[in-house]
Structure 1
Amino acid sequence: MTQSFDIVVVGTGVAGTAIARGCRAAGLSVAIVDELPYGGTCQLRGCDPKKVLRAAVEPVSGMEQLEELGIFGAPVTPDWRSMMAFKRRFTDPVTPGKEAAFAEAGIAKFHGTARFADPDTLMVGDTVLKGGHFALAAGSRPADLPIDGAELLLHSDGFMALDTLPRRIVLVGGGYIAMEFAHIAVRAGAEVTMLQRGERLLDGFDPDLVDLLVERTHDMPVDIRVGTAATAIERVGEGYRVHADQEGRALRFESDLVVHAAGRAPNLDGLDLQAGGVAFGKRGIEVDDHLRSVSNPRVFAAGDAAASGMPLTPKASHDAAVVVANLTRGGHSRRVDYTAMPSVVFSLPPLARVGLLEEEALHQGLGFRVNHAVTDGWFSAKRLNETCSGHKVLIEEGTGRILGAHLVGPHADEVINLFALAIRHGITAEGLAETPYSYPTSGSDVASMV
Structure 2
Amino acid sequence: MTETLDLIVIGAGMAGINAAKKAAGAGWSVAIVDELPYGGTCALRGCDPKKMLRAGAEAIDAARLLKGKGVAGDTRIDWPALMEHKESFTDPVPENMEDGLKQAGVKTLHGSARFTAEDRLGIEGHGEFTFKHALIATGAKPRPLGFPGADRLIDSTEFLNLPNLPERIVFVGGGYISFEFAHIAARAGAEVTILDHGKQQLKMFDPDLVDMLLERSRAVGIEIIANAAPDRIDSAGDMERVTYSVDGKSHVKEADLVVHGAGRVPAVDCLDLSAAGIEAEHGGVKVEEWLQSTSNPRVYAAGDAAASPGKPLTPVAVFEGKIATSNMLKNKQTAPDYTGVPSVAFTIPELARVGMLEEEARETGDVEVSFADTSNWFSQKRLGETHAGAKIISDENGKILGAHMFGPDYAELINIFSLAIKLGLTVDQVKTMPAAYPTGASDIGSMF
TM-score by length of 1: 0.97
Q: Separation in 2 of the partners of 1:370 and 1:82?
A: 45
- Is the counterpart of residue 164 in structure 1 residue 164 in structure 2? yes
1:434 matched residue in structure 2: 432
Tell me the amino acid that sits aligned with residue 281 of structure 2.
Answer: G
1:74 matched residue in structure 2: 73
Q: Separation in 1 of the partners of 2:99 and 2:315?
A: 25
1:220 matched residue in structure 2: 220
1:110-156 CA-to-partner distances (Å, cap 9, x unmatched) read 11111111111111126111110000000111111112111110111
Q: Separation in 2 of the partners of 1:362 and 1:429?
A: 17
Over the residues paired in the alignment, what is the CA RMSD in angstroms? 1.0
Cα separation, partners in 2 of 1:283 and 1:341, compared to 1, 3 Å: farther
Q: How far off is 1:283 after superposition?
A: 4.5
1:48-76 CA-to-partner distances (Å, cap 9, x unmatched) read 00011001111100111111x34223331
Q: Separation in 2 of the partners of 1:34 and 1:428?
A: 45
- Is the counterpart of residue 378 in structure 1 residue 377 in structure 2? yes
1:318 matched residue in structure 2: 319
1:143 matched residue in structure 2: 143
Q: Secondary structure at the match of 2:390?
A: strand
Structure 1 unaligned blocks of 5 or more: none
2:419 matched residue in structure 1: 421
1:112-127 equivalence runs, <5 A: 112-125=111-124, 127=127
- Is the counterpart of residue 278 in structure 1 residue 244 in structure 2? no
Q: Separation in 2 of the partners of 1:99 and 1:369?
A: 49
Tell me the amino acid that sits aligned with residue 127 of structure 1.
Answer: G
Q: Separation in 1 of the partners of 2:330 and 2:138?
A: 23
Q: How far off is 1:172 after superposition?
A: 0.5
- Is the counterpart of residue 88 in structure 1 residue 87 in structure 2? yes
Q: Separation in 1 of the partners of 2:43 and 2:181?
A: 17
1:181 matched residue in structure 2: 181
Tell me the amino acid that sits aligned with residue 269 of structure 2.
Answer: D
Moved over 4 A (4+): none
Q: How far off is 1:323 after superposition?
A: 1.1
* More deviation, 94-103/193-202: 94-103
Q: Secondary structure at the match of 2:52?
A: helix
Q: How far off is 1:102 after superposition?
A: 1.8
1:25-424 equivalence runs, <5 A: 25-67=25-67, 69-125=68-124, 127-308=127-308, 309-332=310-333, 334-363=334-363, 365-398=364-397, 400-424=398-422
Q: Separation in 2 of the partners of 1:449 and 1:248?
A: 43
Q: Separation in 2 of the partners of 1:271 and 1:366?
A: 44
1:191-234 CA-to-partner distances (Å, cap 9, x unmatched) read 10100000111011000000000000001010110111111111
Q: Secondary structure at the match of 2:274?
A: coil
Tell me the amino acid that sits aligned with residue 318 of structure 1.
Answer: F
Q: How far off is 1:446 after superposition?
A: 1.1
Q: Secondary structure at the match of 2:270?
A: helix
Q: How far off is 1:318 after superposition?
A: 1.4
Report the count of equivalent residues. 446
Q: Separation in 2 of the partners of 1:11 and 1:90?
A: 21
Q: Separation in 1 of the partners of 2:435 and 2:97?
A: 39
Q: Separation in 1 of the partners of 2:319 and 2:97?
A: 20
- Is the counterpart of residue 449 in structure 1 residue 423 in structure 2? no
1:1-48 CA-to-partner distances (Å, cap 9, x unmatched) read 621100000001010000000000010000101011111000000000
Q: Separation in 2 of the partners of 1:441 and 1:103?
A: 43
Tell me the amino acid that sits aligned with residue 121 of structure 1.
Answer: R
Q: Separation in 2 of the partners of 1:63 and 1:151?
A: 38
Q: Separation in 1 of the partners of 2:351 and 2:96?
A: 32
Q: Secondary structure at the match of 1:287?
A: coil
TM-score by length of 2: 0.98
Q: Separation in 2 of the partners of 1:128 and 1:27?
A: 22
Q: Separation in 2 of the partners of 1:257 and 1:75?
A: 26
Q: Separation in 1 of the partners of 2:14 and 2:63?
A: 35
Tell me the amino acid that sits aligned with residue 403 of structure 1.
Answer: L
Q: Secondary structure at the match of 2:8?
A: strand
Q: Separation in 2 of the partners of 1:70 and 1:328?
A: 60
Q: How far off is 1:391 after superposition?
A: 0.6
Tell me the amino acid that sits aligned with residue 317 of structure 1.
Answer: V
Q: Secondary structure at the match of 2:291?
A: coil
Tell me the amino acid that sits aligned with residue 260 of structure 2.
Answer: H
Q: Secondary structure at the match of 1:33?
A: strand
Q: Secondary structure at the match of 2:181?
A: helix
1:356-391 CA-to-partner distances (Å, cap 9, x unmatched) read 00111122x222100012111111111111111001
Tell me the amino acid that sits aligned with residue 402 of structure 2.
Answer: G
Q: Separation in 1 of the partners of 2:221 and 2:271?
A: 43
Q: Separation in 2 of the partners of 1:51 and 1:443?
A: 22
Structure 2 unaligned blocks of 5 or more: none
Q: Secondary structure at the match of 1:341?
A: coil
